[in-house]
Amino acid sequence: MELERLASRVRPRRSWEAMDLGFRLVQAWWWPVQRAWLLFALPAFALAFLLLQAYPSWIPLLFWWLKPLYERAPLEVLAQAQFGHVPGTRELLRQWRRLLLRQAIPALTWRRFTLIRSFSTPVMQLEGLAGDERAQRLRVLAQGPNTRGAQWLTFGCLHLEGLVYLAILALLAALVPQELQLDWQGALTGEDARWEFLLAGAGFLGTALVAPFYVAGGFALYLNRRTELEAWDIELAFRRMKKRLAGGLTTSIVLALVLAAGWPAEPVWAAEPATATAPKPLSEEERVRIALDEREPPSSAHQAARAAVDEVLAGPDFHRMDTEGHWKLRDFDLSNKNKKPKTARQSWLEGLGAALAGGFKFLLYIALALLLLFLLHRYPQWSRWLGRNPRLKREAKALPEQVAGLDVRPESLPEDVAASAEALARAGDARAALGLLYRASLAALVHREALSLKASHTEGEILRLAQAQRPAAAWLAYLESLTRAWQALAYGHDAPPTQALLALCGEWRPAFDAEARS
Amino acid sequence: MNDSATDHAIPTLDSTEAHRLAQALAAELAKALVGQDGTIRDVLCALIAGGHVLIEGVPGLGKTLLVRALAKAVSAQHARIQFTPDLMPSDVTGHALYDLKSEQFKLRKGPVFSNFLLADEINRAPAKTQSALLEVMQEQQVTIEGKPFALAAPFMVLATQNPIESEGTYPLPEAQLDRFLLKLRMDYPALVDEVALVRENLAGRLGQTFNLEDVRPVLGQAQVVALQRAAASLDVDEQVLDYAVRLVRATRDWPGVRIGAGPRGSIALVRAARAAALLDGLRFVTPDAIKTVAPAVLRHRLQLAAELEIEGQSSDDVLAQILAKVDAPRT
């Protein structure tokens, strides 16, 4: 492979960044890629249309089922475009047998539901592997975050397709004039076949718009994984260095470095998952040092070169630290000691399960947070209702002091209410006297009889409330006459005769004064 | 009101006398209309306040009976108009007719020339007929062929609406609903009352006649006007007035209310409260009186937002919330 001819910049990327690179690839070669997809998808759709005219609801299913086959041509275009050649329609048509038929049966049957199709297709198509070889290779490639990226890509594109599909339908619906009475119900229940054709068409458009991005995203993930495994970036760096330093002694050093450092990386990194006995992979720095040590006895030129190499090795290029942290389940093996290696099918099932579980976990967290918020919000009411929290109970009891409109706190009242009222009455201030009596009575109702009074309660309502809650209370008659007198004074400007007022003052004590009663 | 002509015949009533008369009238009406004490009180409240009522209720609750009993108890005239889609304004107010014999226009007075007018199913007539009646209600006079005719006092319109059949009706616009002092909801009587009512109505009666023999005339028309004047002379304390206005203003910016009641609502609220205080035998208006009449006065003056209506909330629910939130006056 002529790596230096690669059109995109080669470096290890995170999976999201790699997918982004794929989308940039589509931006660069959109029409060739789209055309390549349409090349086989359009005839397939037309064929499905013709074959299934009688069963229009099966058209989208058949078309969807054959999807892996149309994705091969755009992949071919993308792969070749990386090396500067964009295959034309005719060239692709000439290869139809290779593009469509190779491993078509597995791709359409047991591999149809894999979530990493975009990632695994290049293994089959570009590396030409099949059977056990392919499975083994895929097992190696599928380690690492790129696989998860491929799964997310599948989920994302699936939803994007749905969105585009709905958007197309919405656009069509918006363009229908209002005067046209459409039978939407026919559309929803599938009674009207024309709707089925329309929906299938919209589905085709949605798939067509998203497919290039899906293919390119998977392809970029595949490239990324290989860059990681085979250290393409390092290889390219060395090749560039070789070009720059061509000739002389240095060439042999660089070649030695390349041979010693670059190539051994492949078998080590690309090996099966490390067993307990496998040696720890050497860092680049160590490898370079070993390569230098194993060489011929040092000459002066070599020593100079060695000094230069040491300098480079001490530089920032070899001391980059990347720290990645994530939670990982501890390795506890409960039952099956001799675990078989997972098949592709198991792995995708696990992937699906993990993705679904992740989604549900997220939703559960949201639900939990909402529940907590709701509980916090309702806590005061409930705790008052349950009567468990004495602090809140006290608050609830204390509430009327502030809201009853009148100041009914006991400390705002004089020590001897009846005597003060009587003094006021004798002084001729009937309003102050009655007001004091009424206020003191309300305070007694609130604090002793635990009536819950609100600011919106009128005098008559307070009286009725008292009658309803304490029908047998001795003070009811007094409260009634006091209320009448107060209403007449406050709203009718009709002061009671002094005698009656004094009588009210005198009766207050037996009715409401706690000390007098006890 | 054409007060000057009848002024000499109208007695002045003190509050005790007024209360006694009102109680007597209520007792007479209760003889005819069993189990609808709330409605009777509200109708009397509107009568004493000089207002008109809109009654909403299913058919067969005795609305016509109420009007006839009322007319009989105060020895006044009553008329009933069944509103239909082809009813014309002149069918309500009256018209001039050319008499060939005398070669003169003769005036034929319509049913509005009475004391109590029952406008049955007012929402079945088109807008122009409705507005002809509503104009009469507002002005208390009728103009026929360019000549104004004053209506006799007391004049009161009791209009009914059927809440269940809205097909083919012309709902009253909000501006016209505002002309009614109270909107009452008449409901089915309680079981005991209904049993008593059925028994009463079947006792040796032929066909569908009303049970009006027991209703005696207890008041004259002049006394009704006197009652209205007594109510109008009741004291309204500043604080009570303030409370009434605060209640009405609260309807304007209450969440879920599209349009609240206007100043006419505030005036109506105090007017109705004065009548309610008189019915209670008080010489002054209390906040309690305001609060009691508030639902009937305000329920047709609110327009709820669509969301609340979808939720199934009525203006009564909103008013209950407002009444529970607005502070009562305290001194």
Cα first-last separation, chain B: 38
Q: How confident is the model at residue B3 (pLDDT cuts 50, 70, 90)?
A: very low
Please answer whether residues B328 and A456 qualify as being in contact, where contact means their C-beta atoms are separated by less than 8 angstroms: yes
Cβ-defined contact of B239 to A490 (cutoff 8 Å): yes
Average pLDDT value for residue range A315-334: 76
Dihedral-angle region of residue A479 (phi above 0 means left; psi in -120 to 50 means alpha; beta otherwise): alpha
Residue A184 vs residues A139, A175, A181, A195: alpha-carbon distances, Å: 49, 15, 9, 9
Q: Which residue has the higher pLDDT, A406 or B294?
A: B294
Query: How far is it, in rounded angstroms, from Cα A123 to Cα B81?
Result: 91
Please tell me the distance from the alpha carbon of residue B112 to that of residue B189, in angstroms, as a whole number: 30
Check residue B5 and give its pLDDT: 42
Residue A462 has pLDDT above 70, yes or no: yes
Using the beta-carbon criterion (under 8 Å), do B284 and A459 form an inter-chain contact?
no
Q: Taking 90 as the threshold, does the pLDDT of residue A270 lie above it?
A: no
- Chain B positions in Cβ-Cβ contact with residue A494 (cut-off 8 Å): 283-284
CA–CA dist B269, B251 (Å, integer): 13
Domains and CATH numbers, chain B: 10-221 (3.40.50.300), 234-326 (1.10.8.80)
Cα–Cα distance between A154 and A462 in angstroms, integer? 68
Rounded Cα gap, residues A172 and B187, in angstroms: 52
Q: A184 — phi, psi (to 5°)? A: -65, -30
The stretches of A102-181 forming alpha helices (DSSP H) are: 104-108, 117-126, 131-141, 145-175
Any CB–CB contact under 8 A between A467 and chain B?
no
**Residue A154: pLDDT band with limits 50, 70, 90:** very high
How high is the pLDDT of residue A267? 44
Q: What is the CA radius of gyration of chain A?
A: 43
pLDDT band for A271, please (50, 70, 90 cuts).
very low
Higher pLDDT, B156 or A252: B156
Per-residue model confidence (pLDDT) at position A130: 84
The token pair that represents A261 in the structure block: 């450092």
CB A439 within 8 A of CB A407: yes
What's the mean pLDDT in B301-311? 84
- Lowest-pLDDT range, A19-23, A172-176, A404-408? A404-408
What pLDDT, in 10s, does the model give residues A181-234? 666 666 666 666 777 788 888 889 999 999 999 999 999 999 999 888 888 888
Residues of A in contact with B254 (CB under 8 A): none
Quick check: B131 and B95 in contact, CB under 8 A? no
Cβ atoms of B227 and B73 within 8 Å: the answer is: no
| pLDDT value for A257 | 60
Q: Are B142 and B183 in contact (CB under 8 A)?
A: no
CA nearest to A213, candidates A279, A129, A118, A96: A118
DSSP assignments along A46-72, one per residue:
HHHHHHTTT-GGGHHHHHHHTHHHHTH
- CB of A464 within 8 Å of a chain B CB? The answer is no
Residue A415 has pLDDT above 60, yes or no: yes
Q: How confident is the model at residue A278 (pLDDT cuts 50, 70, 90)?
A: very low
Q: How many CB atoms lie within 10 A of CB B31?
A: 16
ipTM for the predicted complex: 0.81
pLDDT at A272 over 50: no
A2-12 pLDDT, tens digit per residue, is 677 777 888 88
Could you tell me the pLDDT band of residue A277, with boundaries at 50, 70 and 90?
very low
- Which of these ranges, A18-22, A239-243, B116-120, has the smallest mean pLDDT? A239-243
- Calculate mean pLDDT across residues A327-353: 71
Closest in B240, B324, B327 to A405, CB measured: B327
DSSP codes, B257-320: EEE---HHHHHHHHHHHHHHHHHTT-SB--HHHHHHHHHHHHTTT-EE-HHHHHTT--HHHHHH
Q: Count residue pairs from A and B with Cβ separation < 8 A.
A: 60
- Percentage above 70 pLDDT, chain B: 94
Residues of A in contact with B330 (CB under 8 A): 404-406
Q: What is the pLDDT of residues A355-388, one digit of tens each?
A: 899 999 999 999 999 999 998 888 877 766 665 5
Predicted pLDDT at A11:
85
Band (A129; pLDDT cuts 50, 70, 90): confident
Nearest to B288 among A405, A454, A458 (CB): A458
* Cβ neighbours for B286, distance < 8 A, ≥ 6 positions apart: A458, A459, A460, A487, A491, B240, B277
CB contact under 8 A, A458 and B324: no
- Percent of chain B at pLDDT above 90? 17
Which stretch of A247-256, A476-485, B1-10, B14-23 has the lowest confidence by average pLDDT? B1-10
Q: Would you say how long chain B is, in residues?
A: 331
> Which residues does chain A have within 8 Å of residue B239's beta carbon, measured at their own beta carbons?
490-491
**pLDDT tens profile B40-56:** 999 999 999 999 999 98
Cβ–Cβ contact A254 with B under 8 A: no
The predicted-structure confidence for A103-114, as pLDDT tens digits, reads as follows 888 888 888 888
pLDDT for position B271: 93
Q: Tell me whether the omega of the peptide bond preceding residue B173 falls within 30 degrees of 0, making it cis.
A: no
Q: Which of A125-134, A305-314, A381-390 bottoms out in mean pLDDT, i.e. has the lowest?
A: A381-390
Instruction: Name the token pair of B255.
Output: 């969440």
- Residue A388: burial class (beta carbons within 10 Å; 0-12, 13-18, 19+): exposed
- What is the per-residue pLDDT across B215-252, written as a single tens digit (0 to 9) for each? 888 888 888 888 888 888 888 888 899 999 999 999 99
Residue B259: count other Cβ atoms within 10 Å of its Cβ.
Answer: 13
A481 CA: distance to closest CA in chain B (Å):
14
User: Per residue in B188-205, pLDDT tens?
Assistant: 888 888 888 888 777 766
d(CA A252, CA A161): 54
| The CA-based dihedral angle spanning residues B190, B195, B196, B202, taken in that order and rounded to the nearest 10 degrees | 140
Mean pLDDT score across all residues of chain B: 84
Say which of A456, A487, A493 has its CB closest to residue B325. Answer: A456
- Band of residue A395 on the pLDDT scale cut at 50, 70, 90: very low
Q: Which of B235, B323, B328 sits opposite A493 (nearest CB)?
A: B235
Cβ neighbours for A353, distance < 8 A, ≥ 6 positions apart: none
Interchain pair B235, A490: CB under 8 A: no
Of A135, A159, A122, A35, residue with least CA distance to A86: A35
